[in-house]
Structures are given as structure tokens and as C-alpha cells.
Amino acid sequence: MSHALTSPVAASATRTPALEIRGLGKSFPIGGLFSRESVRALHGVDLTINRGEIVALVGESGSGKSTLARCVARLEKPSSGAILIDGVDILKRDRFQASRAFRSQLQMVFQDPFGSLNPAHRIEHFLRRSLAIHGKGGGSAEETVRRLDELMTTVGLQADMLNSYPHELSGGQRQRVAIARALAVEPQVILADEPTSMLDVSVRIGVLNLMRKLRDEQGISMLYITHDLASARYLADRTAVMFAGELVEEGESLDLLSKPAHPYTQLLVSAVPDPARAGSYDPVRRAELRQAVMASTTCAFDGDPNQACSADEPVRHQVGNPENRHWVRCHLYRPWAGAAGHALAGEPSQPNRPASNAQEGASA
Ligand code: ADP
Ligand code: MG
């Protein structure tokens, strides 16, 4: 994807927050009714998505990405923290009263376009229903039909497909319908949880371009959850990296993915085949690091037994130029050494890290 090298930062992106997640925590009880054990799925997550901005949330399976989206969508009740839309804490609002107003501000698109549309109904049904529930169908039958056609056009589908059943559509077309259904509500924020991971590679780019268009033309803000770093780089203004329920690094996508400062981000980046880093992928080293990641206990990333990582929670360090809004939380990060002073640094896998990076670091 040659165009992936151009800056994905949208002209439409602002610094006005659309969605603010503050100190979000979530534990799930495990071990039966009377057990006091719980698994910590999220811990102290702070993340802001500005208006007209796409933020990618990346991390391996089980890191807590879906739990975060489900908490924001109020499908799951957080254990702690606050979630603000347009400055209003949605968790403090009464669930029943707030739900319709809330749904019209925030919509979710799920991974599985097959499971999310009831096979018994035609496409028109899903879109009409969304319009009706949120009072967006206009004042007349003609107006509703016009709105339906418009939605189909926006997501790149023929209007006559309104008469089709879900099984008559391809996976990519179904995901477009799911997006149209979300758009019918005219939301400010869309949470898309791995929206392309079940689609054929050939149609993924079309759905990514549709999301980009919605950001650029309608100023919609998005949380784009993925484990595909290439698509995060292609689509997202900023990327946040989640490991074991915590955000460990965040920054403008191009900066973060070309100069990952956290060992975990480096691990993720090292797993992506990249011609620019030919020969850099060392499966043995990667397996060792993975082992270390999985064995970590107190600190989220306790990879090096010689480092006193676990005593305190790491603080945020700014990485490089403040304009890139790039930070990392890691005890191993040495601001004066750029990103060079940690786990993957000994490998010949960092040729894409410019030498100038060594002077860029500044402690936040
Ligand atoms: P991801 O989307 O990044 O793959 P998830 O958010 O689905 O990760 O899961 C994060 C962690 O929370 C996992 O350890 C998972 O097992 C746990 N988890 C998620 N949902 C539940 C649940 N309903 N009950 C118990 N544990 C859960
Ligand atoms: Mg998930």
C-alpha cells in the first residue's frame, strides 16, 4: 500500500474531544458465585478521541480491546472510571432515560457481519428500523425513501439492494449495511471492533476507505479496533497500544509505528512482515519476548529479569517531538537514548529508526 506512507492525519481532525475515557477499569468475577477471584480486563485506561479523528486500538487477542469498546457502548458495566461524550459522563446518567439519546451519539459496528443481521429480514428493514427508532426518517414516506437511498449510496451499495436478504450479500456488502445502519442514527462516534477481520483481503481496503470517507466528509470520530498494524497505519490518525488491559503507548500512527518505544509495541511491529526491515524478524527472539510478556506479573511488561520493573507502575514519558503526541509507559524507556535503551534494542531489527531519534526524547 504505497499510499500508506502519506500522513493519515485527517484534515478534519480537531482537538475538541468527542469521546473521553478516564481511568477506566473492568474486572470480571471468575470461579463461580461465591468466589472472590476476578480477572482484571482493564486497568486505568485513559484515551481521548477528538472530533473527526480515527484512533486505532491495537493489541493481541485477549488484551482487553473488546471489553473497552463494550464498556464505552454500555454493553458492559465498568468497575471504575468515567466515560464522557461531549463532556457528559454517560455512566452517571440513568440507563433507561439516557439510552436513546446515548445510542444516537454512539454506535458500534461489530466484527461479524454475518451474525449482526437477522437473516429473516430484508436490508431495508434494518435501516428503516434504525431511522424510526431515532426519529431520523424525515417527516414523510418520500423523505424516508430518500434517506434510505442516501444511506446506501454513502456506504457504496446500490439502492436496489434494499430488497435483498443478508444471505444474498457478500461479507463486505453486509459490513457496509452494518455501517449504514449505524449511520442512520447520525452518530458522532462509531466504535468499530475488528470490522474487517472476517472479510476477504480483497474487500477490506474498500471498508477501510469507507470509514476514512465518513471521517473526512462527515467528521465522524471512530475507535478502530484491530490487530492489524498495517491497517492502523493506513487509516488511523493516532494509534493506542493495549497490553494486558492497559494502554502502554500512544501516538500519531506513523510516528508510533515507525518508532515504537515500548517493548510490547516493538514486539507487535516486529511480527509484521515489512520489506523495509528485511531480515529483521527473528522468530526465536520473538518467541522469547512473547514468553516474557505472558509471564509478566506486576508490571504489565516485565520482560527483563535484570530490570527492576515491577516495583511501581510506570509513568508516561513523552517520546520525541511533542507535536506527535507520542508517549510510552515503561520503566525501560530512556528519554535521553530515544527508544534505544530496551528489550529489542540489541537486535539488528531497528534500521527504520532514524539516528536523530536519539536526541529527540524528552521526559514528560
Ligand atoms: P480482545 O478484544 O483484546 O481480544 P477481550 O476484551 O475480549 O480482549 O478480553 C480481555 C480479557 O477479559 C480476556 O482475558 C478475557 O478472557 C476477559 N473477558 C472478556 N469478557 C469476559 C467475560 N464476560 N467474563 C470473564 N472474562 C472476560
Ligand atoms: Mg476482541
Residue 57 maps to which CATH number? Answer: 3.40.50.300
List the residue whose alpha carbon is closest to atom 27 of ligand 1.
28
Same domain, 280 and 343: yes
Exposed (0-12), middle (13-18) or buried (19+): which is 124, by Cβ within 10 Å?
middle
Same domain, 232 and 273: no
Distance 231 CA to ligand 1 centre (A): 23
**CA 36 → CA 125, 137, 244, 255, 334, distances in Å?**
45, 49, 20, 42, 39
pLDDT below 70 — which residues of the chain?
Answer: 1-13, 94-99, 273-283, 285-286, 288-312, 336-364
Question: Has residue 167 been placed in a domain?
Answer: no
CA neighbor of 271 nearest in space, from 109, 58, 12, 119: 58
Same domain, 312 and 280: yes
Same domain, 340 and 288: yes
Domain ranges, residue 317: 260-360
Same domain, 87 and 207: yes
Question: Has residue 152 been placed in a domain?
Answer: no
Q: What is the pTM of this model?
A: 0.84
Q: How many domains does the chain contain in total? A: 2
Kindly state if the Cβ of 364 falls inside 6 Å of ligand 1.
no
Question: Has residue 176 been placed in a domain?
Answer: no
Instruction: Report yes or no: 173 and 157 within 8 Å, Cβ to Cβ.
Output: yes
Same domain, 196 and 345: no
Quick: pLDDT tens for 301-317: 554 555 556 566 778 88
List the residue whose alpha carbon is closest to atom 26 of ligand 1.
28
- Pocket test residue of 67, 194, 294 for ligand 1, highest count of atoms within 8 A of CB: 67
Same domain, 229 and 264: no
**CA 309 → CA 56, 94, 306, distances in Å?**
27, 41, 9
Listed residues 206, 241, 276: the one ending a domain: 241
Kindly state if the Cβ of 148 falls inside 6 Å of ligand 1.
no
> What pLDDT shows up at residue 101?
72
> What pLDDT shows up at residue 274?
62
Same domain, 90 and 197: yes
The closest-lying atom of ligand 1 relative to the alpha carbon of residue 76 is: 23
Same domain, 216 and 286: no
Same domain, 30 and 99: yes
Q: In what order do the strands lie in the sheet with 38-50?
A: 38-50, 17-29, 80-85, 88-89
Same domain, 320 and 236: no
Gyration radius from the chain CA atoms: 21
The closest-lying atom of ligand 1 relative to the alpha carbon of residue 30 is: 25
Same domain, 284 and 206: no
> What pLDDT shows up at residue 104?
81
Give the whole-angstrom CA distance, residue 260 versus residue 267: 9
